[in-house]
C-alpha cells in the first residue's frame, strides 16, 4: 500500500516498538494516532514524532470506543491498526500462578487487543480495505519456564491473528502477526524508561522496519506471520 496520507492507529505508542513504528509511518507520509495510559509520556512522544496522542487504555472498552470515534470523526476512515500495547507480569512456575496477574495480562494482551481489532475490523469491512498488525512475541511460538501467563497470552493473540485472517480476507483486509524476540525496550518496566541499548540485541527500529515493509507491499499480497531474531545475541 501507499502509506502517504494513510490513517494509522498504534496502541502503546508512547515508547519502544510502538513509538518507533509510529515515527517511521509518519516519515512515510501517514497520519498516525498513538495511544497510551500515561498522559505526560504520551504527550511528549506525540510532540517528538509528530503523532496525535489519545490517552487511552487498550484494556478499557470505553477507551477503545472513544479512540475509534475520534479517528473516524476526524478522518472518515482508518487504514492501519498496529495492536502493539502489551503487558508482562506474574513470572511464576505452574503451582504458583496468581489469578489477578493472569487477568491483568490477559486484559491488555488478549481482551484489549481483541476489542481494538474488532473495532478496526468493522471499519475495514465497510471500506473493503484495511490492515491489522498484531505484535506477538517469540513467546507465542514456544513456551518457557515461568512463562505460563505471558506466553499463553501471546499464544492467544497468535490464534486471534489466524482467525482474523480467515474472517477478513474476503473483505480485502490484511492481518499480519509479528513475533519479535528480545528487544531493548521498556517492556515490563513500571517506570516506562527504555532499557540500555545492547549492540547485539534487537532495537525497536528492526521491528518497525519489518512492520513498515509489510505494509508497503502491494495490497494484493501480505505476509501472515514473521519472526524477527537478533543475528547473534550471545
Residues shown for the chain? 234
Catalytic option among 33, 106, 150, 171: 150
State which H helix or E strand residue 98 sits in: none
DSSP state of 217: S
Contact residues for 3 (Cβ-Cβ < 8 A; gap 6+): 25, 28, 29, 30, 212, 215, 216
- In the structure grid, which three cell numbers stand for residue 152, read together? 499463553
Q: Are 186 and 41 in contact (CB under 8 A)?
A: no
State which H helix or E strand residue 53 sits in: strand 52-55
Number of H helices, E strands in the chain: 7, 7
CB atoms within 10 A of CB 70: 15
Contact residues for 129 (Cβ-Cβ < 8 A; gap 6+): 79, 171, 172, 173, 219
Sign of CA dihedral 130, 202, 84, 55: negative
- Grid look-up 509520556 returns 41
CB atoms within 10 A of CB 213: 12
- Catalytic annotation on 150? yes
Catalytic residue numbers, as ranges? 150
Amino acid at each position: 500500500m501507499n502509506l502517504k496520507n494513510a490513517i494509522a492507529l498504534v496502541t502503546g505508542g508512547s515508547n519502544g516498538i510502538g513509538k518507533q513504528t509510529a515515527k517511521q509511518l509518519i516519515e512515510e507520509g501517514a497520519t498516525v494516532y498513538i495511544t497510551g495510559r500515561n498522559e505526560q509520556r504520551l504527550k511528549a512522544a506525540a510532540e517528538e514524532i509528530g503523532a496525535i496522542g489519545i490517552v487511552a487504555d487498550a484494556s478499557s472498552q470505553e477507551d477503545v470506543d472513544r479512540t475509534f470515534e475520534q479517528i473516524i470523526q476526524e478522518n472518515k476512515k482508518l487504514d492501519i491498526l498496529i495492536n502493539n500495547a502489551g503487558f508482562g507480569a506474574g513470572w511464576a512456575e505452574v503451582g504458583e500462578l496468581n489469578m489477578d496477574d493472569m487477568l491483568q495480562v490477559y486484559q491488555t494482551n488478549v481482551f484489549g487487543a481483541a476489542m481494538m481489532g474488532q473495532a478496526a475490523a468493522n471499519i475495514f469491512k465497510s471500506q473493503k480495505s484495511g490492515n491489522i498488525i498484531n505484535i506477538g512475541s517469540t513467546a507465542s511460538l514456544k513456551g518457557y519456564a515461568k512463562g505460563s501467563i505471558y506466553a499463553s497470552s501471546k499464544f492467544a493473540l497468535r490464534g486471534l491473528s489466524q482467525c482474523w485472517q480467515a474472517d477478513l480476507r474476503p473483505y480485502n483486509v490484511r492481518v499480519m502477526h509479528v513475533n519479535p524476540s528480545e528487544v531493548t525496550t521498556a517492556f515490563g518496566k513500571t517506570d516506562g524508561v527504555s532499557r540500555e541499548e545492547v549492540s547485539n540485541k534487537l532495537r525497536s527500529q528492526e521491528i518497525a522496519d519489518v512492520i513498515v515493509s509489510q505494509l508497503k507491499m502491494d495490497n494484493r499480497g501480505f505476509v501472515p506471520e514473521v519472526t524477527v531474531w537478533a543475528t547473534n545475541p550471545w
